[in-house]
Amino acid sequence: MDPKVLLTSKEVNIILHRLACQLVEKHLDFSNTILIGIQPRGKFLAERIKSIIEREYAVQDISLGFLDITFFRDDFRRNQKPLEANKTQIDFLVENKKVIFIDDVLYTGRSIRSALTAIQSFGRPAEIELLVLIDRRFSRHLPIQPDYRGRQVDAINDEKVLVSWGESNSLEDGVFLIQND
């Protein structure tokens, strides 16, 4: 079965601008706010959001980091294939800062639970918010909800939501629904 297009490149761009605008409305100058992209797939989204805020809203000096959660996951020993860890890049303290986790798809909530544990190594945030491009709202294993969401998608368990970014060797941005085999 061919992938179903959920969002085109143009629609992704519109959503990214809306999400950036919502962040600016709430955090204004970002002097006490940190963006954290959850590796690997939240990295591209976090970089895009930061770029839009800097370009469109003239907000400078936004702290952006990337958090690897591989070994904080509760299922990392259950995988059959070898794990590939990503690089955590956080060169600032998160103590008493407002942290915004950024990820592409919120599915079961387990990645976010892992990120909540992993971020504690860098200090205790004043508060944590969650921004996702896609919210698969009927698939939660944990009571985690996004503060900012691009689009809600109702996908059944044998379907996968795939976010494609131009930066990751794709031709263009897009969000697709594919059948798991």
Task: Report which DSSP code applies to 2.
Answer: P
Taking only the tens place, the pLDDT of each residue in 18-54 is 999 999 999 999 999 999 999 988 999 999 999 999 9
The secondary structure of 115-156, three-state, reads HHHHHHHHCCCCEEEEEEEEECCCCCCCCCCCCEEEEECCCC
Task: Report which DSSP code applies to 17.
Answer: H
pLDDT level of residue 70 (50, 70, 90 thresholds):
confident
pLDDT on residue 170: 65
- Which residue ranges form the domains of the chain, and what is each CATH number? 10-71+86-154 (3.40.50.2020)
Taking only the tens place, the pLDDT of each residue in 91-114 is 999 999 999 999 999 999 999 999
Rounded to an integer, what distance in angstroms lies between the CA atom of residue 66 and that of residue 83?
18
Taking only the tens place, the pLDDT of each residue in 76-91 is 555 666 667 788 899 9
Taking only the tens place, the pLDDT of each residue in 164-180 is 998 776 678 999 999 87
> CB-based burial of residue 170 (10 Å sphere; 0-12 exposed, 13-18 middle, 19+ buried)?
middle
Question: What is the torsional sign of CA 167, 175, 25, 35?
Answer: negative
Name the 3-class secondary structure at 176: strand
Q: Is the pLDDT of residue 1 over 80?
A: no
Arithmetic mean of pLDDT over the chain:
90
- Answer whether 0.85 is exceeded by the pTM: yes
Q: How many CA atoms lie within 13 A of 177 on its CB side?
A: 15
